[in-house]
Amino acid sequence: MVSGNGSRTAVVGGGISGLVAAYRLRQRLGPTAEIVLFERGDRVGGVLHTGELGGGPLDLGAEAFVGRRPEVPALLRELGLEEQLVHPAGRRPLIWADGATHPLPGGTLMGIPATSMVMHGLVDAATLATIDAEADRPLHWVPGSDIAVATLVADRFGPQVVARSVDPLLGGVYAGLANSIGLRSALPPLAAALDAGARSLGAAVARALPPPSTAPVFGGLRDGYRVLLRALLAAAAPKVEIRTAVTDLARTATGWRLGAAGEFDAVLLATPAPVTAGLLGADLPAAAELAAGIELSSSALVALAVAPDAPLPDNSGILVATGEPLRAKAFTLSSRKWPHLAGRDALLLRASFGRFGDSSPLSWSDADLIAAATADLATVTGHHIEPLDARVQRWPGGLPQYAPGHDRRIADLEAAVAQAPGLALAGAYLHGVGVPACIATATAAVNRLT
């Protein structure tokens, strides 16, 4: 266990998890402790990155967080950034499916309905009949088991529900598909309802749906995530080693050695799962094997500024069903979604590309990505809208995939690392890909070390 009074601690990885970890370490260890933050890229922040477009800041990575979790608002209060907290306008997204736009169904659990009522217009009559008859079919569920979301939903409700309702929503969270995401990690309340003996998928969804609430589902930062990143860095006051890839981690008699960086009393790894696996391999091979089994998804984002009178729908975005002949997987109509962006001289929107198993958009040129975004936007809106300006951001290996069995894998990984004093893990591959979950893993990792 590390304490202050001149201790030396390394944080490897300068994303949100690493920055929160450095900040928590400074709070716990005090001003005399040496905290060194290693980041292999040319900036801190990881997949949180704020650019400039349309006369002001715009997030080019994650843009929102789950507003019903407490971690981000609490952290903003700690750092004196309460005035940065903003919420969406409340507009609903559309879904592009079968060559047309449809309202996003309400009353679903990540796109999984409890009844057929909310799916009318989005799926065909045969699928509606399958949903209606689902309760009459025996449900064979082994408590504690885990399968891909698509496996269960397609079997019980049909493949159209997966492609047109579940995939578009899961794709926004994981940049993956329902056939690559495990039910237990993605939808814990649904798994709990099935474990408790729900007699059908519809009944399980009805039991798992959260109670009605007027609280905002999502939140964001008025001036982008860069405000939070800068505040964390200033409060943590670590020694920052940018463009420094840590490739060697070895246990010593009193702590850990990080290659040429020398010895540390404790090390906190806030690195992607494959990097973590490489660092753990020498001393903790079983833990390394578990981390190496977590795959990553890559994506690309095109942010566009268009004329203020451009004919965009009055919705927060347009999600694209799988199997559609479009290259973009979603559009966020940022100026419609966020009131604080509505006053700009241009309308802002974001087009997202890339799903798990398809990293090809990363190889496209900026011009090709912008052209694809513009062409697909014309398809889903019915209007050619010429961009006034654009920004392209690529995210290779940006999001971990929570495959079936992920929760057991992480439990085993954390148990293995717990046997190594002075070592802890944090990051999006552990207990959730969102910013609140990353903050929680960083705080838990520092609690373990201190």
Q: Note the pLDDT of residue 211.
A: 87
pTM of the shown model? 0.95
User: Is 58:389 a contact under the CB 8 Å cutoff?
Assistant: no
| Residue 279 falls inside a structural domain | yes
pLDDT in tens, the chain (450 residues): 676 667 899 999 999 999 999 999 999 999 999 999 999 999 999 999 999 999 999 999 999 999 889 999 999 999 999 999 999 998 999 999 999 999 999 999 999 999 999 999 999 999 999 999 999 999 999 999 999 999 999 999 999 999 999 999 998 888 889 999 999 999 999 999 999 999 999 999 999 998 887 788 899 999 999 999 999 999 999 999 999 999 999 999 999 999 889 999 999 999 999 999 999 999 999 999 999 999 999 999 999 999 999 999 999 999 999 999 999 999 999 999 999 999 899 999 999 999 898 889 999 999 999 999 999 999 999 999 999 999 999 999 999 999 999 999 999 999 999 999 999 999 999 999 999 999 999 999 999 999
- Is residue 258 domain-shared with residue 391, that is, in the same domain? no
| Other CB atoms within 10 Å distance of the CB of residue 342 | 14
| Residue 370 falls inside a structural domain | yes
- Is residue 360 domain-shared with residue 410, that is, in the same domain? no
Q: Note the pLDDT of residue 359.
A: 82
- Is residue 250 domain-shared with residue 160, that is, in the same domain? no
How would you write the chain as a 3-class SS string? Answer: CCCCCCCEEEEECCEHHHHHHHHHHHHHHCCCCEEEEEECCCCCECCCCEEEECCEEEECCCCCEECCCCHHHHHHHHCCCHHHEECCCCCCCEEEECCEEEECCCCEECCEECCCHHHECCECHHHHHHHHHHHHCCCCCCCCCCCEHHHHHHHHHCHHHHHHHHHHHHHHHHCCCCCCCEHHHHCHHHHHHHHCCCCCHHHHHHHHCCCCCCCCCEEEECCCCHHHHHHHHHHHCCEEEECCCCCCEEECCCCEEEHHHCEECEEEECCCHHHHHHHHCCCCHHHHHHHHCCCEEEEEEEEEEECCCCCCCCCCEEEECCCCCCCCCEEECHHHHCHHHCCCCCEEEEEEECECCECHHHHCCHHHHHHHHHHHHHHHHCCCCCCCEEEEEEEEEEEECCCCCHHHHHHHHHHHHCCCCCEEECCHHHHCCCHHHHHHHHHHHHHHHC
Regarding beta strands 34-39 and 239-242, do their DSSP bridges make them parallel or antiparallel, or are they unpaired?
A: parallel
CATH number of the domain within which 115 lies: 1.10.3110.10
| Residue 58 falls inside a structural domain | no
- Is residue 70 domain-shared with residue 142, that is, in the same domain? no
Boundary residue ending a domain (361, 380, 400): 400
CATH number of the domain within which 356 lies: 3.90.660.20
- Is residue 149 domain-shared with residue 199, that is, in the same domain? yes
| Residue 84 falls inside a structural domain | yes
Q: Note the pLDDT of residue 68.
A: 84
Boundary residue ending a domain (208, 242, 266): 208
- Is residue 278 domain-shared with residue 303, that is, in the same domain? no
- Is residue 406 domain-shared with residue 290, that is, in the same domain? yes
- Is residue 159 domain-shared with residue 137, that is, in the same domain? yes
| Residue 39 falls inside a structural domain | yes
Residue 195 belongs to what domain range?
A: 108-208
CATH number of the domain within which 421 lies: 3.50.50.60
| Residue 190 falls inside a structural domain | yes
- Is residue 395 domain-shared with residue 406, that is, in the same domain? no
Provide the number of structural domains found in the chain. Answer: 3
| Residue 215 falls inside a structural domain | no
Half-sphere exposure at residue 322, Cβ-oriented, CA atoms within 13 angstroms: 23
| Residue 375 falls inside a structural domain | yes
- Is residue 74 domain-shared with residue 193, that is, in the same domain? no
- Is residue 275 domain-shared with residue 419, that is, in the same domain? yes
- Is residue 280 domain-shared with residue 419, that is, in the same domain? yes
Q: Note the pLDDT of residue 75.
A: 98
